[in-house]
Amino acid sequence: MKADYNESIPNNVNLGDDRRLLRALERWQPAYIQWWRDMGPVESTDLQVYLRTAISVDTDGWAHFDHVRMPDYRWGIFLAEPEPDRTIGFGAHKGEPVWTDIPGEYRTELRRLIVTQGDTEPASVEQQRQLGRTAPSLYDLRNLYQVNVEEGRHLWAMVYLLHAFFGRDGREEADEMLERHAGDPDRPRILQAFNEQTNDWLSFFMFTYFQDRDGKFQLAALAESGFDPLSRTCRFMLTEEAHHMFVGETGVMRILQRTCELMREHDTADVRPYGGINLETLQKWINFHYSICLDLFGSERSTNAANYFSMGLKGRYQEAKLDDDHKLDGEQIEIPKVTADGIDHETIAALTAMNLKLRQDYTKDSQRGLNRFNKMIAAHDIDFVLTLPDEKFNRGIGIFSEVHASPDGTLLTGEVWEKGKREWLPTADDHAYVNSLMVPVTEPGKMAGWIAPPKRGIHGQPIDFEYVLFH
Ligand SMILES: [Fe+2]
Ligand SMILES: [Fe+2]
């Protein structure tokens, strides 16, 4: 279905037929644009960026590529096509037709799910707003801005649901999306990982590898929802999310390639004197991003998560592929438990362990990319393996927030942890070093010295294409 670009807000939801909703969104639009100018990418207003814009939701040919001034980007509302005769795939309502309107009794829970997801979208734009100043190439600068405009669109996607289905409190929630800000001490974003700074490009690539992958898993679980508009919204968002993770994975891979080349060339693991990012530094960034992302999944044991599942609002990753009754009534599961003697296990209702299940799927998916990174290291005949830290490492939420553990999962006293932290997590010195490398490269086709060029350009363009025009 083609999007209607004649409307003030491009959409494939027949917004033109619902003048009240259209007017409400048109009232929110200037506040959004103002937010983009105040909190979005710095010094970017006059640039022309080679962006893809969604023009339809068909699997092939949904995107159009052209140079666009970012404030003129047409942020639109797109839902994947409805699946005919779709039924709810899990929970107490399994087998019933999906809801095309809000089931009144689940209104509060749905609003909370949509607000929590929606809040992460503008947060990431805010976190990344300084990065345009130091992009390692025009190709990367373009990718940053592509990710940013799409996160902006994801906010539109959630705001549409709030406006269309939640009346006045939905409109208030939509306004508040622009009032909370990443890292703001008074009005922070809802989830902690979305308040952290992302001021260097190593952090950006790790963010798009780890945080955006959390996004993928949350969206995939919401795409299972019995509330069909949410499901259709998330299904289309997932197509965009895939590009964000591509940016993250190829970004880390290109850094790694450059590091390995420098290690071979100079026959040393200490590539800092040669302007590279050494493997230990990469490992520290992985330790940090992965551990704070595990917190995004919430507590291992959660009545809210159980309710979301039973109510049919939020499913499991690839629900239909799971070989059980999709209701889990009376099912039990073992989860870890912290005791005075260390880690033990306890048996709980499987329904209450939904967050843990989603997190475990996230871990598997994260490990797959690491395996590819490690192949790159091995191909250079270097004896080093990048690893995901243990689930107990550096945790702020859930069972393991009560203990200290090393990346390999050994429990530690507070004192040993404080000492070890410097080896495992980025220090002020590490940040200073990485920041010292962040020098903008704006000549088409040229790359900063700490990162290898990409394998290919965007949308069939050469690597030395002018992805960003500065005039
Ligand atoms: Fe997003
Ligand atoms: Fe994303």
Task: Check residue 41 and give its pLDDT.
Answer: 97
- Compute, in angstroms, the gap from residue 150 CA to the centroid of ligand 2: 7
- Whole-angstrom distance, CA of residue 243 vs CA of residue 245: 5
Cα gap 405→46, rounded to integer Å: 48
Ligand having the closest approach to the CA of 122: 1
Structure tokens at 60: 């092939």
Ligand index nearest the alpha carbon of residue 144: 2
Integer Cα distance of 20 and 353 in angstroms: 41
Is 38 exposed, middle or buried, given 0-12, 13-18 or 19+ CB atoms closer than 10 A? exposed
In a domain, 341, yes or no: yes
Residues of the chain with pLDDT under 70: 1-2
Ligand minimally distant from the alpha carbon of residue 117: 1
Contact 220, 314 (CB under 8 A): no
Distance from CA of residue 390 to its chain's centroid? Answer: 21
Q: In the chain, how many domains are there?
A: 1
Residue 5 pLDDT: 73
Helix axes 107-127 and 228-266, enclosed angle (nearest 10): 30
pLDDT value of position 4: 73
Strand partners, 77: 11
212 CA → ligand 1 middle, Å = 7
The predicted model scores a pTM of 0.96
- Residue 155 within a domain: yes
Q: What is the pLDDT of residue 7?
A: 77
What whole-number distance in Å separates Cα of residue 434 and Cα of residue 305?
39
Distance 414 CA to ligand 2 centre (A): 35
Euclidean distance between CA atoms 288 and 280, whole angstroms:
12
- Name the phi and psi angles at 188, rounded to 5: -75, 170
* d(CA 111, ligand 1 centre) in Å: 17
pLDDT at 2: 66
Distance (Å, whole) CA 175 – CA 30: 11
Residues with CB under 5 A from ligand 2 (ion): 212, 215, 241, 244
Kind plus residue range of the DSSP H or E element containing 414 = helix 414-424
Q: Cα(147) to centroid of ligand 2, in Å?
A: 7
- Ligand 2 centroid, distance to 423 Cα (angstroms): 30
Q: Quick check: is 10 in a domain?
A: no
Is 87 part of a structural domain of the chain? yes
Record the tokens describing residue 314, joined without a space. Answer: 């939020």
Residue range of the domain that includes 25: 15-469
Residues 80 and 29: their CA atoms lie apart, in Å, by 22
Q: What's the gap in Å between 5 CA and the centre of ligand 1?
A: 22
Alpha helices (H) in 276-413, listed in sequence order: 279-295, 303-310, 354-379
The predicted structure's pLDDT at residue 340: 87
Per-residue exposure over 233-265, b if at least 16 CB sit within 10 Å of its own CB, e if not: bbbbbbbbbebbbebbbbbbbbbbbbbbebbee
Distance 333 CA to ligand 1 centre (A): 31
The domain that holds 444 is classified in CATH as 1.10.620.20
Residue at 1 is within a domain? no
The whole-number pLDDT of residue 1 equals 61
- Look at residue 308 and tell me if it is in a domain: yes
Sequence letter at residue 42: V
Instruction: Tell me the one-letter amino acid at 340.
Output: A
Q: Is residue 199 part of a domain?
A: yes
Q: For residue 21, what are its two tokens?
A: 């909703």
Q: How far is the CA of 125 from the centre of ligand 2 (A)?
A: 10
For residue 268, what pLDDT is reported? Answer: 98
Partners of 257 in the β-ladder = none
Rounded to the nearest angstrom, the distance between the alpha carbon of 108 and the centre of ligand 2 is 25
Q: What would the two tokens of residue 86 be? A: 């779709």
Examine residue 5 and state whether it is found in any structural domain, yes or no: no
CA of 124 to the centre of ligand 2 (A): 8
For residues 132 and 201, give the distance between their C-alpha atoms in angstroms, rounded to a whole number: 10
